[in-house]
Amino acid sequence: MLDLGVKPEIPLHQWTLAIDGLVKNPAMLDWAQFNALPQVEDVSDFHCVTSWSRYDCRWGGVAFATLYELVEPMPNARFVYFTGFDGYSTNVPLEKCLDDDVLVATRFEGQPIVREHGGPARVIVPKLYAWKGAKFVKGITFLEEDKLGFWEVRGYSNGADPWKEERYA
Ligand SMILES: Nc1nc2c(c(=O)[nH]1)N[C@H]1C(S)=C(S)[C@@H](COP(=O)(O)O)O[C@H]1N2
Ligand SMILES: [Mo]
């Protein structure tokens, strides 16, 4: 599956990223504030559950770890729940989000991410199946208990490790 079929148009002046839940400093970043954070680039592969993969994708944006440091999650935060402007959601264990290849990406191959592929900003979790990365991301919530996202509720594997081919629960 590629997407919910809704590709929301989000003008940059209306874009915000809310980071909340079990954190000391909840944040609501606008586009300028987000882009003022340290930027990184990472090359990774991309695996959809319906068997296609794309290799050597060069993503640019803000490392998840940078956002983590900004909001200072509480010690009991163990899971992360991502939401998108299209109503999508997905969940990832916090420790998997802290790998240095996990980004909130705003660029693909040096160009702004187009709406077709989840721009202005999308989450990339290269070691997991692509549905674990929310396109059109608008919210990141730190939780103590895991909360299943859109596809996870509909029977996709919660582990989502492509090397174990964990596709369906
Ligand atoms: N917001 C949002 N993110 C999403 C989805 C979606 O429907 N909405 N689909 C997921 C799935 S199943 C895949 S395979 C990838 C597809 O990314 P692409 O459209 O850039 O290929 O986005 C993931 N992230
Ligand atoms: Mo997918």
Strands 27-30 and 79-84: unpaired
Distance 69 CA to ligand 1 centre (A): 26
Distance 54 CA to ligand 1 centre (A): 13
In the numeric block, which tokens belong to residue 143?
């939780």
108-141 pLDDT, tens per residue?
999 999 999 999 999 999 999 999 999 999 999 9
| Partners of 63 in the β-ladder | 103
C-alpha–C-alpha distance, residues 101 and 122, integer Å = 13
Distance 132 CA to ligand 1 centre (A): 8
Share of the chain above pLDDT 70, in %: 99
pLDDT at residue 34 greater than cutoff 60: yes
List all residues whose CB is within 6 A of at least one atom of ligand 1.
1-4, 48, 84, 86, 88, 117-118, 130-131, 133-136
45-75 pLDDT, tens per residue?
999 887 789 999 999 999 999 999 999 999 9
pLDDT at 26: 98
Lowest-confidence range among 53-57, 98-102, 157-161? 157-161
- Looking from the CA of residue 137, the nearest atom of ligand 1 is 1
Residue nearest to atom 10 of ligand 1 (CA): 131
